[in-house]
A = this chain, B = another copy of it.
Amino acid sequence: MIPKSIIKLIKSLDQKKYRKLSGLFLAEGNKMIHDLLTSNIEIETLIATQGYLEAYASQITSKTEVIASDCDQISKASLLKSPQEALALCKIPDYDLNEANPAKDWVLCLDGIQDPGNMGTIVRIADWFGITDIVCSPDTVDVFNPKTVQATMGSIFRTRVHYAELPGYLSTMKDKNIFIGGTFLEGDNLYTKRLPSSGIMVMGNEGSGIRDTTMPFISDKIFIPSFAVGDKHAESLNVGVASAIICSEIRSRNLRP
């Protein structure tokens, strides 16, 4: 049996204020928990079927409270439409912003991304392209929102997502002469632009792009050109899609003939 208090706690984690109060976030699903167990994220409580627990016994540390349950009970606790065999209450990690080092590697910076799905997609892209640090403005959607956690498909456990005031952060980076690129609907053509091997790439909000208070710190305005013939074409790319194209480009430069 899953204690009622735990079910109540799980349901509360849908809201940011309760995540902040408890310092916990929720992860669900067989593959997610598999990825979680092989990560550095601390698990406070693991709820899973007996079979799942047996399969992963060697990876569960003594620090974790383990509750053996069944699919019916897990369904009652779950926030998912199709609950699976495992879910976990995890400690929200407290990453050091100094771990992000744009003098040595690329860092993504998100300026007010609002959609949990886009956020999840961007974390998954960063993970694929080996970008370990993402620095977000405080008003960017919380990555520990259950919808975003699930949308990262496990990439959240391998990516450090920081929240910081961007003007302060970017100003310090600008003083260090770090390349700070930003995507706009005008600027230098991404494909022909010389790019360094590390730096910061800023992605703007879904509707309004990179905001005025962030603008002064952008060293290089970049645009992804449209290849449509004529003047009628999509007005913009989704921010997840734009992030994918940017990451693909910065990572592949060294490989090109």
A119–B191 Cα gap in the complex (Å)?
26
Stretch at the interface among A2-10, A133-141, A168-176, A246-254: A246-254
Tell whether, in the assembled complex, residue B226 and residue A130 are in contact, meaning their CB atoms are under 8 Å apart.
Answer: yes
User: Is A232's CB within 8 Å of the partner chain B?
Assistant: yes
**Interface set, chain A 227-257, CB cutoff 8 A to B:** 227-229, 232-235, 237-238, 240-241, 244-245, 248-249, 251-252, 255-257
Task: Pick the residue among B124, B228, B248, B251 that contacts A130 (CB under 8 A).
Answer: B228
Q: Is the CB of A158 within 8 A of B233?
A: yes
Asked if A192 is an interface residue, CB under 8 A from chain B, the answer is yes
Is A78's CB within 8 Å of the partner chain B?
no
Q: For the complex, is A145 an interface residue (Cβ under 8 Å from B)?
A: no
Is A224 part of the contact surface with B, judged by Cβ < 8 Å?
yes
Q: Are A255 and B128 in contact (CB under 8 A)?
A: no
Shortest CB-to-CB span from A193 to chain B, Å, is 10
Could you say which of B234, B245, B256 contacts A245, with CB atoms under 8 Å apart? B245
Interface of A, helix, strand, loop or mixed by DSSP: loop
Contact at A252–B191, with CB atoms within 8 Å?
A: yes
- In the complex, A182 has a CB within 8 A of chain B: no
Q: Is the CB of A124 within 8 A of B255?
A: no
> Judging by beta carbons under 8 Å apart, are B244 and A124 in contact?
no
CB-CB under 8 A from A192, the residues of chain B are 255-257
Q: CB within 8 A of A158: which of B125, B155, B191, B232?
A: B232
A56 at the interface (CB under 8 A from B): no
A234-B124, A237-B244 known; A227 and B130 CB under 8 Å?
yes
Is A229 a contact of B130 with CB atoms below 8 Å? yes
Question: A142: which B residues are within 8 A, CB to CB?
Answer: none
A241 neighbours in B (Cβ, 8 Å): 121, 124-125, 240-241, 244
Task: Give A contacts to B, CB under 8 Å.
Answer: 35, 38-39, 117, 121, 124-125, 127-130, 153-155, 158, 189-192, 224, 226-229, 232-235, 237-238, 240-241, 244-245, 248-249, 251-252, 255-257
